Amino acid sequence: MNKFYLKIVFSLLLDLIVITLISLLIYFIAGFFDRVFVYFIILGFIAALILIFEKSARFKLLIITQMAVFPYFGFGVCLFLYLEKFIIKLKERSVRSPLTNYKKALKSLSKEKKDFAKVAEYIDYRTNFPLLYANELKYFSTSSGFLDEIIEEIKNAKNFVYLQFYILDNGEHYFKLISEIINATKRNVKVELTVDYFGSKGFSTSRCGLTLKSLGVKITEYRPLSLFMGLSFNKRCHQKLAVIDGKVAFLGGVNFNDENKRPSKDCGLKLYGDAVKSVQNMFLRTKKEYIEFEFFDENEKLGYVQPFSINGKNTLESVIQKLISLAKSEIIITTPYLSISDDILRAIEFAIYQGVSVKIILPRKVSRIILTLNSTYAEKLKRVGAEVYFYKPKFLHQKLIAIDGEVALCGSQNFDIRSMNYQLEDSVFIVNNRVINELLFDFNMMLSESFEFSLKKRNSFSIIFSNVLSRLFAYFI
């Protein structure tokens, strides 16, 4: 067992000790009185707090069930989770800092599409990233094209390079990236790299990581292991973005993976102009830094963009739910992991009832457990009238939702609980930009290489069992 996994085991053991101590404390306190009576008083009190303060209905159900099934130990887990949540909030409170307020694009969109302008205003309110006039967007329908373009821009970097990826893994593009970063440091280009501690395990202490550090590259690991970590591993930095010289930025769902090990279908965006400033602050916010910008470019002909960073708090779920409710003709979705809330399911059902076509593409080449999870929710969607497809050629890692060919969300976010409630994600809200046509064309190409999911007859036990498993595992996939 290597050092990385030893650290994880050690962290989990520490968490287990803390939970056990809390559980024993509850047990002995109850021992002074009628244990059953005290147990139900504490259970009722904690359950009431959860119902009042927790926004996620699924999380409420999970915790309350845990307390009821595992009385004293369940209390310990519940209290520990909320203590950990409180500590994270205290640590991240200083991260939030307002950007320069920019309302011109928002006022302009309000005249054209008032409902979509309200969505943009809500995103700004929740994330502090404003709606902007689009300068230009370039869409990449393949991982290799996206990564090649990043490497090419690093070759021409003169001042700084900011990189943030969930996974950096050995492969052709990985070694090209390392090589170009080394060349950039020789030109006195400032290079900063942020990686997720879990996603890019061991990178900071690897031969490549140590070499880059010796050349002056600043490498930051997002949320390394600590005492209050073992049970909160879901809160990761899932962002994939790059900023070069403040002139161009890249954003999407593409990691520096080894394509030979696991070929995948993905997409990404290259941004220019004012949008780059927002992406730069998306990178800096994980380091508790911000730069105040003024926005100048005004080109209404190219539509609107709103790059933003989501830090859990159900913001993404609220945005998606609202976009679905605004659909008039068509909703398209691609995602590798499907675990939607009942609220989004009902929003999709209502949209279908109003005559909206809903098409969803999921990956076929995945592990058995993920296929079971996806199929469980695919069945729910199929039953309310959605068209669900499985992409055959390779693993589908693309994350996208488009409404009526007018607006789209494209980024690192999955349609699952972790992205909606825990992880740090990047996304771009796109309105009335020609790149949406490219997204739709790419979607239709994938559709031609997919097969439609069909409902199968299953007994009641099978349905209940798969639903229970999917809800339990949904928090950990």
DSSP 381-447: HHHTT-EEEEE-SSEE---EEEETTTEEEEES--BSHHHHHTSEEEEEEEES-THHHHHHHHHHHHH
**Crossing angle between the packed helical segments 172-186 and 207-214, to the nearest 10 degrees:** 10
CA-CA distance, 38 to 26, in Å (whole number)?
9
pLDDT at residue 445 tops 50 = yes
With CA atoms as reference, report the closest residue to 452 among 369, 347, 381, 346: 381
**What confidence score (pLDDT) does residue 177 get?**
94
**Crossing angle between the packed helical segments 315-326 and 342-353, to the nearest 10 degrees:** 10
The more confidently predicted of residues 343 and 291 is 343
Entry pTM: 0.84
CA-CA distance, 363 to 329, in Å (whole number)?
25
**What confidence score (pLDDT) does residue 104 get?**
84
DSSP 62-117: HHHHHHHHSHHHHHHHHHHHHHHHHHHHHHHGGG--PPPP--HHHHHHHHH-HHHH
pLDDT at residue 399 tops 50 = yes
**What confidence score (pLDDT) does residue 7 get?**
60
Torsion of CA 379, 384, 386, 388, to 10 degrees: 0
Q: Which helix (H) or strand (E) holds 221?
A: strand 218-222
**What confidence score (pLDDT) does residue 87 get?**
58
Q: What are the pLDDT digits (tens) for 213-265?
A: 999 999 998 878 766 565 566 678 899 999 999 999 999 999 988 766 778 99
**What confidence score (pLDDT) does residue 183 get?**
96
**What confidence score (pLDDT) does residue 201 get?**
83
Domains of the chain: 3-94 (no CATH), 135-302 (3.30.870.10), 315-473 (3.30.870.10)
Percent of the chain with pLDDT strictly greater than 90: 48
What does residue 154 show for φ and ψ, rounded to 5 degrees? -65, -35
CA-CA distance, 339 to 437, in Å (whole number)?
27
Q: What are the pLDDT digits (tens) for 57-70?
A: 666 666 666 666 66
**What confidence score (pLDDT) does residue 297 get?**
62
Q: What are the pLDDT digits (tens) for 26-35?
A: 666 666 555 5
**What confidence score (pLDDT) does residue 428 get?**
96
**Contact (CB, 8 A) for 146 and 250:** yes
**What confidence score (pLDDT) does residue 118 get?**
95
Q: In whole numbers, what is the pLDDT of the chain averaged over residues?
A: 82
Which residues, including other chains, have CB under 8 Å from residue 252's CB and lie 6 or more apart? 140, 146, 240, 241, 266, 267, 268, 269, 410, 411, 412, 426
Residue 177, sorted as left (phi over 0), alpha (psi -120 to 50) or beta, turns out to be: alpha
Identify the residue whose tokens are 């080109």: 299
**What confidence score (pLDDT) does residue 410 get?**
95
Identify the residue whose tokens are 């996939």: 477
**What confidence score (pLDDT) does residue 43 get?**
66
pLDDT at residue 475 tops 80 = no
Its sign, for the CA torsion 203, 208, 209, 210, is positive
pLDDT at residue 452 tops 60 = yes
Identify the DSSP state of 39. H
**Integer-rounded Cα radius of gyration of the chain:** 23
**What confidence score (pLDDT) does residue 369 get?**
80
Q: Which stretch of 121-125, 139-143, 467-471 has the lowest confidence by average pLDDT?
A: 467-471
pLDDT at residue 96 tops 50 = no
Mean pLDDT of 454-459: 71
**Contact (CB, 8 A) for 350 and 377:** no
Percent of the chain with pLDDT strictly greater than 70: 71
Confidence class for position 202, pLDDT limits 50, 70, 90: confident
